[in-house]
Every structure is written in C-alpha cells, then in structure tokens.
A = this chain, B = another copy of it.
Amino acid sequence: MRFTGLCAFPLTPLTPLTPLRPLTPLTPPLAAPSPASFAVDEGAYVGLVERLVDARVDSIGALGSTGNYAYLSRSERARIAELTVEAAGGVPVVVGVSALSTRDVLAHVADAQRAGASGVLLAPMSYQRLTQEEAFGLYETVAAELSVPLVVYDNPTTTGFTFTLELHGRIAELPGVTSIKIPPVPTSPDAARATLAHYREHVSNVVTLGVSGDGSAAAGLLSGCDAWYSVLAGVLPRECQALTLAARAGDSVTAHAISARFAPLWELFATHGSLRVVTAVAEVLGLIGSGSLPHPVRGLDAVGRRAVLRALEAAGVVEG
C-alpha cells in the first residue's frame, strides 16, 4: 500500500456522560460521573467516515491527533479501528497506534491489524524527551512486528520530538515504511521545493511524502508531495479533494484559489490549534454534538466559535 492523494482524518467525537438514574426511587443514587467522563459518539463517528467515503478520499486516517487518540483507552481505540474499517467500504484505512511506551504501541498495532487496517501511523510521542537513537529504536521494534505498511508521523508540536533528516532516512529504510507525514512546508513555491529536495536527499522515492498543516497543502502538493494528510478533510472532504486533484494535475491556479478561500480558517488553526477549530466546524455543520473534546482540552469559546462561523461563510461553505 502506497499512500498518495488525500488522506482524511476524521474527528473522534465524544459525548459527555450524564449521571445514571437510579433504577427505582428506592435505589440509592449511583455516584455521579465526573464532568470529565465521556464515551465515544459512535453514531456521529460513523457518519463522519461515511462522508469521507462519499467524497472519494484516497484514504482515511483514523485516530490521528484530530481523532483524539492520545486521550482514549485501548478498547476505545480498538473499537474505533473496527468501526472505521467497516464504514470505509474498501477505502484504505490507516490507524494511529502511537503511545508513550513501546509496549502500548505494540498493543495498538495488534488491535489495528486485527481490525483490518491497511496501514498504521506512528509518532514518537514522548514524555521524557527521546534521543534520535531512542526514536529509531521505537520504529525498528515496531517495524519488526508489523504485517501492514507504516506511516511515520512527524509532528513536533504534539510529540515534543524533532526528527533530523538523517533519522528520517534511517527509518525510511526499515521494512514496511511506506510514507512520512511531514510538518507544514513553506508556502512560497521555491522554499517548498527546497524543503522537499532536502527530504529526498535522505528518503528514497519508494517512500511517499505527505504534507500536513492544511494551510500549506497546496504548496506541498504542487512542489512534489505525494499525499496530503488532512485535518480539514475530516469535515470538508469534497473541498479538500478538489484542491488535491487540482494540485496533483498541476493546476496551481485552482489549487491556490481553493486554499485561499480557507485563509481565515488557517489563521484560526494557528491561533487555537486545528483540533479545536475543526471541532467547531463540525458542530456548525451539525455533524457532531457539543462537548466532544476530551478534558482538559475544551472547545472554543463564543468569540472563537463566531470567528469559525465567519470563516466558513467567507469560504462559501455556509451561507452568511
């Protein structure tokens, strides 16, 4: 499996747990669950995945950062992997398997493979900051146990780990490594091409490079990225697929025009983090309920939500 084109990352919407009612008026009330308790909203989740299938995305990324993987239990993650593969109807599914300990990563790998994932996505999550050699050891251990392709997930903001290009090159040689989800590239074409060329000095063409940071997707795809690992595509897959197809056909005018429609949204991503913004987008579109983020992470306040609504109006996604 070679991951190219648009890989859309659905949110994993949560629903706050409300206190259980006592069975009869004589039963003592059960302990009220904490305000931090939640369950996965499986119905809303399947709806999000079906929307991606309808929009003909090239692959689906379950349990990415946007999919709240870091906050869910092993059984919740295994269930999401199963639900995604079922609802994907043959569209390849790559499942996030990252965890702080290699022991837990391998458990998530086993669950993802059992669920029928077409690949796994692995970031070097860290609590103690990892050395380059420790991160290599993680990928080496996991690659030795995998029977599906591996996508390397490079996200210094969430993991606190910075890959050197030399490390990317070493990991790319491991068996089964098929793609790297790279951080945002510069938006200027020359600088984006130079960034890609630096990767290619270390990483062979057998391994695809996929851009992340949705605001730099057009620049990334037009300057040689093979794929776009997209947060926004989790909620607006048609618009993102139109951008992807235009860019991969070399139509830079159309690709940049679609990206420019979402410029106010990219600014909100930078201010609030893409997860909080895309969650608000999904709420505005009626795809998920409120309170869907895992505490301590919280949704945008009223001011932020109004800014998201205005950004969607500016993009023509909702009527003003």
Contacts and interface: CB of A to CB of B under 8 A. Distances in A.
A141 interface: yes
Interface in A236-277: 273, 275-276
A296 interface: yes
Contacts of A141: 34-36, 295-296
Nearest to A35: B141
Given A141-B34, A141-B36, A101 B273 contact: no
Interface string A269-298: 000010110000000000000000011111
Interface string A99-124: 01111011000000000000000001
A134 B101 contact: no
Interface residues of A, number: 39
A125 interface: yes
Nearest to A130: B296
A100 B70 contact: yes
A273 B126 CA distance: 13
B127 A65 contact: yes
A134 B118 CA distance: 36
Given A34-B106, A71-B101, 6 more contacts: A101-B294, A102-B294, A124-B296, A129-B157, A134-B297, A134-B298
